[in-house]
Copies of this chain bind each other. A is one copy, B any other.
């Protein structure tokens, strides 16, 4: 069994039952819905109690439950550049605005990155008379680039004598 087969099975059941993602994530609970959905789509791990709930909900075998609890090879669900327009727009935001984001974050925080691992994200619907808006709030830990060697006392040179 590979993860894609499990994802396909889960989507088949969702379709047959006519469930929404809201229903599914309400049932499974315990973690942000966007992560639970990501896991069911094969891009994240479900921690054990959630994998158990998911298995109960979808009637999965214990091997399938165990697979949901594994860390998948992430990033397999999106061709790059994304051909799907909804996902492409996010890609385009990075493509067009990447240099400005880099400038503004580095000026505020110094050399480093916003973590994509210690990261959370929330979606809101923003009512607007001209058309509702998708509001996304992201928050990632800033990780300063570490200039190693300037704290512990540095070796004389790149190659130490063994």
**A-to-B contact residues, CB < 8 Å:** 1-2, 8, 12, 15-16, 18, 20-22, 25-26, 29-35, 37-38, 41, 43-45, 47, 62-63, 66-67, 70-71, 73-109, 111-128, 130-150, 154-162
CB-based contact B143/A107 at 8 Å: no
Q: Give the contacting residue for A21; candidates B37, B107, B142; CB below 8 A.
A: B107
Q: Can you list 30 pairs linking A and B with CB atoms under 8 Å apart?
A: A1-B8, A31-B149, A32-B149, A38-B97, A43-B96, A44-B145, A47-B150, A73-B102, A75-B83, A78-B96, A81-B81, A82-B94, A82-B98, A87-B94, A89-B140, A93-B138, A104-B123, A105-B123, A108-B125, A112-B117, A113-B117, A114-B134, A119-B146, A120-B149, A123-B160, A125-B162, A133-B141, A133-B142, A134-B142, A135-B137
B contact residues around A119 at 8 Å (CB): 93, 146, 148
CB-based contact B132/A109 at 8 Å: yes
**Cβ of A136 to closest chain B Cβ, rounded Å:** 5
Give the top 5 A-B pairs by smallest Cβ distance, nearest first.
Answer: A75-B83, A32-B149, A120-B148, A38-B100, A78-B98
